[in-house]
Chains A and B, each alone.
Chain A
């Protein structure tokens, strides 16, 4: 089966070039305009001026946006493949809300502060929410239709945020920090919180990439995939684990960020074809571009303030979601 499209390698090169451009913009553009010389100073560690100091803060921020975007983009592609549902997105399915609930409970009740513990909590919360939502959404006839999954995810998100508020409200001391984390931001990034996440991201990445062949087979339909000799149940579980680790980690790092996992795989599918062996890595790259650019945009739009990246992605993503809904011949609605 030849899934290649004309100029495929050219398109891949373009996507990677966009990623580099994103990193460049994210380092050079900010609330404060900094001359080139000071940017170079900041990047090389000579923090003598305010401008250089500002630029040196942008470095971990850029790294975080790229990592989180890659994780969310790839997780979205995997979830869409596993559930065979075009509307699947870690935000819409309530997975991010589950991760957020666990992290908030950890902060408020168990005085947890270590970055690694946050990550474990985030992954555990994402896993619980994913299993729950899929369990509710796939009961009965017709399996997991987009409408049922979306509604189950919405209900779970609303319940989770009600609990989050119930946990946070009596605690004046932590309300502010938790709320700004909840909108989703990469602004407070530091390398010492990013480093512990790297093994998690690596594991999720490998699991997801390993499931590419199974996702390809699943795309043909479950019976056919089983007929091709794939172990569907195990394959699905492995792929889902990868996606859960990825979005749990991303949520623990920068709060729930919606719609990256929805938009990116669709755009990649339209431009690069449907082969998951290519789609998964390119979704990661494109997700990094999207989140990085959204972060840059958030810095420019609201000068001298900053717009949190979660708000920018919601504004890019929600119209896209609606467009997908309209384009889709709603199965089982």
Chain B
């Protein structure tokens, strides 16, 4: 019994229909992102007419609207989109590469390591900006290779990888919790918010590095997407087709860790976005191509919708990570139960 592939390799159906379905799904997801972006900009404590939002965005100074839209809502919405894209893309890259939806960065400890490193850099080393993200990337890579190394060996590497990752997460989470508890300058409530993942109080200057990381590492992934696709067929087939399996894995790991680490150091580890995006996108696409792009857009939708729900649709104002955590955990349980019915493949 093994944990089998969840992301079905593209079917050999007529090529045109596949493309039509993925184009349709991508358009719908993109439309969803734009709709939620517009919703976040125009609705908050009070709602603004679309015309007022537009005029505020494009510079004309209307009473009060420009501050609310330009300084409060736009950075928040931009941060939600960018972190969502990063988490969605980074998550699905791991899941596809390891052929296992459970091998997402937030379950195997990559997010935990990036979070712990970011908190360490901010609180103990008093760093800020780009350097924090770089520290987080380095820690994420270190932990990724540690987990790969520790879980290699005879048989059952997939399950072992997840269990090793869970162990490492537990250790790193306790570090993060400790540093935040001891940090004098952090309000405890604010610290709790960060620990769950939140786009509260986002600044445009914080969005920029994450966006740059998305372009850089996303480009890297896009370049290796073809090889990644071939890798699904197995190492031997990939080698026969002229794809270096180890080199591809190295590139994909680097890109995925980079995406997750930059997003985590900006917004905190928003629970389960990386884990959820891939499986949702894969179900929408139903086996047609474009899983990477679809998953990135799904991630953006999840963060935007989660943030809006947490802010305005619930009795108390909650950070986005609480909402996605509360949605994601039942989904994980559902995957486990369903896997059992299917005879062990998750």
Contact = CB atoms under 8 A, between A and B. Distances in A.
Contact of B318 (A155, A158, A169, A332): A169
Interface string B160-186: 101110111011011101100110000
B110 interface: no
B325 interface: yes
A136 B333 contact: yes
Nearest to B163: A325
B326 interface: yes
Contact of B330 (A159, A179, A319, A321): A159
A140 interface: yes
A317 B162 CA distance: 17
Given A136-B336, A158-B329, A321 B174 contact: no
B330 to A, nearest CB: 7
Given A139-B340, A183-B178, A325-B167, A333 B160 contact: yes
A162 B326 contact: yes
Interface residues of B, number: 57
Interface in B137-165: 150-151, 153, 155-156, 158-160, 162-164
A155 B333 CA distance: 7
A162 B196 contact: yes
Contacts of B316: 166, 169-170
Contact of A158 (B1, B102, B189, B328): B328
A326 interface: yes
A258 interface: yes
A125 interface: no
Interface in A137-165: 137, 139-142, 146-148, 150-152, 154-156, 158-159, 161-163, 165
Contact of B156 (A179, A314, A330): A330
Contacts of B150: 322, 326
Query: Main SS of the interface on chain A?
Result: helix
A166 B322 contact: yes
A326 B160 contact: yes
A332 B325 contact: no
Contacts of B173: 314
Given A142-B1, A147-B163, A330-B159, A259 B329 contact: no
A318 interface: yes
Contacts of A154: 107, 166, 332
Which interface class (under 10, 10 to 19, 20 to 34, 35 or more) fits A? 35 or more
B247 interface: no
B87 interface: no
Contacts of B344: 140-142, 332
Interface stretch (A34-42, A64-72, A111-119, A302-310): A302-310
Contacts of B192: 165, 168-169, 175, 179
B337 interface: yes
Contact of A146 (B163, B196, B317): B163
B242 interface: no
Contact of A92 (B156, B166, B181): B166
A5 interface: no
A12 B316 CA distance: 54
Nearest to A258: B170
Contacts of A148: 336, 339-340
A329 B325 contact: no
B272 interface: yes
Nearest to A148: B336
A310 B155 contact: no
A165 to B, nearest CB: 5
Query: Main SS of the interface on chain B?
Result: helix
A183 B43 CA distance: 37
Nearest to A320: B167
Given A142-B344, A332-B344, A162 B329 contact: yes
A158 B272 contact: yes
A176 interface: yes
A315 B171 contact: yes
B317 to A, nearest CB: 7
B283 interface: no
A142 B159 CA distance: 15
A318 B171 contact: yes
A159 B196 CA distance: 12
B321 A325 contact: no
Interface string B82-102: 000000000000000000001
A156 B337 CA distance: 13
B56 interface: no
B2 interface: yes
B45 interface: no
Interface in B97-154: 102, 107, 150-151, 153
A165 B196 contact: yes
B220 interface: no
Given A168-B192, A322-B167, A311 B159 contact: no
Q: Which 5 A-B pairs have the closest CB atoms?
A: A140-B340, A333-B159, A162-B325, A159-B329, A318-B171
Given A175-B189, A319-B171, A333-B1, 8 more contacts: A87-B163, A137-B336, A139-B337, A158-B328, A162-B322, A311-B177, A326-B164, A333-B156
Interface of B: 1-3, 102, 107, 150-151, 153, 155-156, 158-160, 162-164, 166-168, 170-171, 173-175, 177-178, 181-182, 188-189, 191-193, 195-196, 271-272, 316-319, 321-322, 325-326, 328-330, 332-333, 336-337, 339-341, 343-344
23 contacts: A140-B340, A140-B343, A147-B159, A147-B162, A154-B166, A155-B336, A158-B271, A165-B318, A165-B319, A165-B322, A166-B322, A169-B193, A169-B316, A169-B318, A172-B189, A258-B174, A314-B170, A314-B173, A318-B168, A321-B167, A322-B164, A325-B167, A333-B1
